[in-house]
Amino acid sequence: MSGYAIPAYNPSRTASEAYLMLLGGVLFGYAMIGKGFAYIGMPPLFIGEVALLLGIVVLLRTGCLFASMATLPAVLLTVTMTWVLIRTVPYISQYGFNAARDSVIVMYGIFAFIVIAMLLEDPGRIRTITQRYLIFTGIYVFCMPLVASYSHFLRDFIPSMPGYVGVPMLQVRAGEIAAHLCGATVFAMVGFRKATLLWTLALVATLVIVSALSRSAMLSAIVPICFAALMLGHWRKLIIIVIGAGFLFSLSYAIEKIVAEPSDPPHITTPREAIGSEDRLVMPSQIADNVLSLFGEGSEGTESTSEWRLQWWDVTLEDTVFGEHFWAGRGFGVNLAEAHGLQQNPLELRPNRSPHNASITMLGRAGVTGLVLWIMLSISWSWSVLQAMFDARRRGSTDWANLFLFVFCYALAMHIDASLNVALENPMSGIWFWCLFGFGLGAVMIYRAQPREHDEANRPFEKDGLVQRLHP
């Protein structure tokens, strides 16, 4: 990439600029409203599919289609998408829309190429996107305590989308919220925004809510944030925060037990045990139960979901790695729960089509071939971004290094959520993930294209003051 010439900025590229605004609005809607926003449109053209089709037009107009494929992760993504397409087309006649819907776990990767092409067309869009994300973090963090509470506690009062029975206008999964909160947190940690007291309190309050509702949400937020703290050398602060949080949690847990302790056992009962995420209360005991369940010591209700997932994953391994669907899997379109002879998860309201793990889904639908491609794709992208981060840090390009760390942690949060939920198979998480994938890879390409002579004079996003522009 050292010899790649970045196209000069051209103010006439109004189509790309308009699409960038549109895509930002779509991502904002997915993050704030969730499932209800995803159903805007008419089958099979929902808002996500419209954005995809318009994005393909913009991709072709940029003239950067082939340049966007000039890295190993992009090549692997192309190969993976080709394999998924091969395993989807034969089943369209039988399963129709379900085949296309199942394939988006990878086919939404087209958004990655769209974002890469727009960055290569105008590298200044890195700053534009970063500044717009700054605005997003302010709106999102302050709104989420209300949105998360309303979506969970008042879900029975949320009206359905017109024409879609059982599809609420507002429904945001805890894992989705946790991933975006993780991104906002790391964004502040690297210095791209100021974490005011009110902003921090709103963020922490929402993290407590989603951690009580979902173990995957808790992991999606905590693991990348801890990784970012270690990479930034904030391990002392991390220890202090962990000790302080542990003390406050222990105190609140003790208070809950004292308040909940029945003074007259024959007449007073303790709160009932939650049997599913929609049934869980935001209480210290529920968070403790979620933590214990990570080690197989949770309550019966919490452990039942883990056992159900593990059983499905074991069946998938037997059917592919040790079975007749080794190379190609069962294809995209078939309901894997029915194909594997599994009962519907009693804690889920809707039938499950995929086994709550992106990697296992790829194995079950695309075989060992699909799984290997998926793993290679994930490793190559992570290596590219982290390698660029360490290189930028070594050269003293702080803004570049912090940008790569932010993107990596954000994508990692979504990947963790996708390892325990049906996440990348839906547009709310899938389109966000692949846009991050493309943004990270495009930023790496632009960074590597910068001249290495006189590094101090060739840091365009630091020379023009990225941090200063974000803090006017």
Q: What is the DSSP string of 42-111?
A: ETTEEHHHHHHHHHHHHHHHHT-TTGGG-SHHHHHHHHHHHHHHHTTHHHHHHHTHHHHHHHHHHHTTHH
* Distance in angstroms (rounded) separating the CA atoms of residues 290 and 302: 7
Structure tokens at 353: 């089509």
Average pLDDT, the chain: 83
Asked if 324 and 95 touch (Cβ cutoff 8 Å), the reply is no
Asked if 328 and 90 touch (Cβ cutoff 8 Å), the reply is no
**SS3 at position 272:** coil
Q: What is the mean pLDDT of residues 245-274?
A: 53
Which residues, 6 or more positions from 236, have their beta carbon under 8 angstroms from its beta carbon? none
More confident call, 416 vs 303: 416
C-alpha 137: how far from chain center: 15
From the list 320, 365, 353, the residue with the least C-alpha distance to 86 is 365
pLDDT in tens, 375-420: 999 999 999 999 999 999 999 999 999 999 999 999 999 999 999 8
Question: How high is the pLDDT of residue 390?
Answer: 96
* Distance in angstroms (rounded) separating the CA atoms of residues 437 and 407: 8
* Distance in angstroms (rounded) separating the CA atoms of residues 290 and 296: 10
> pLDDT band at 341, cuts 50/70/90?
confident
> pLDDT band at 24, cuts 50/70/90?
very high
> pLDDT band at 305, cuts 50/70/90?
low
pLDDT in tens, 40-55: 988 878 999 999 999 9
pLDDT in tens, 56-83: 999 999 889 999 999 999 999 999 999 9
Q: What angle do CA 418, 421, 427 make, to 5 degrees?
A: 65
C-alpha 124: how far from chain center: 25
Percent of the chain with pLDDT over 70: 77
Amino acid found at 99: A
Question: How high is the pLDDT of residue 150?
Answer: 87
